[in-house]
Structure 1
């Protein structure tokens, strides 16, 4: 575990570099509805979000929309040595950045849509996910796409798994309740913008 963590941490300064911020800002200007925020998630939001994980049992974690990887790196720091993180990203600029900057054998960066979680896990020969984490701005998605992503996410979770969703609007809550048996809501104040965290279980 120590060796793997050092591999990730040794790359982490790149994520605080000017290149990282420029890349994120440029893509926000190009695709504002895809990113949802002009700046990456704060460390406070990331820590609050990941505090919900049971890292001892998490063997497969799926992240939708990893962007420039600030949450991705923190997941890798906490994960078991034999666990796998599947990062599904639609934006080819972010995909290239993640593949270049994160050197960790547990990470699988997949260029594609969150709609393809079933196909992605099957192709990678992985079991159902322990956790799915998503920062996709669901409020900007077409109703059918949002519903399909939530349905597929629920169906690809283990029975004791959970989906963690962080959003800047509360409008996704009724949709989450439609697909999950239990939804708990937290509020991350120390973030620009303040964010809501939804912990969804079957």
Structure 2
């Protein structure tokens, strides 16, 4: 994939490129992870070069980055699984093979997103939505049934005394509360299908995640 488009940054259009990442991008991808996921997010969950090498060799179609002025501004990574092998109440480590995606199944039915990030400087430009749209296009091109993934709930920690995880999601869906990740995924067309407990070592989300999907509308 190599897509050229414009996004709005500081009130003006700037050219961006969404493409498959490769080994030459590894340092930029790791820096984007560092900027996108500061503490208390665990540093050990940032990509390393061995993981990135597995991404580009096992499923290059699922290894996307967004570039502005030669700089990696964000990335998105996925693998193909058979959704029946995993229940909705699953964890990131199992589905992502701890980030190495060695469990990628080319003949599976579901593209599973294991990471998406946009560095703070380029948030609210639409880049994240364009990355998601590009991964939807990969789902369609490969004739997969769906895109699936766990969304963090970083606003839940502050509300956990008032609501269960399910109640929290319901309040976000009703518009009463806002969650930066869940609300972003909703705007991208993703639909909640379950709650995962102990999904990821994520203090802000109290280790919960919302499993959210996008179904391929071109399959009968």
Same-fold call, TM > 0.5? no
What is the TM-score normalised by the length of structure 2?
A: 0.36
Q: Greater share of strand residues, 1 or 2?
A: 2
Based on CA coordinates, which of the two structures has the bigger radius of gyration?
A: 2
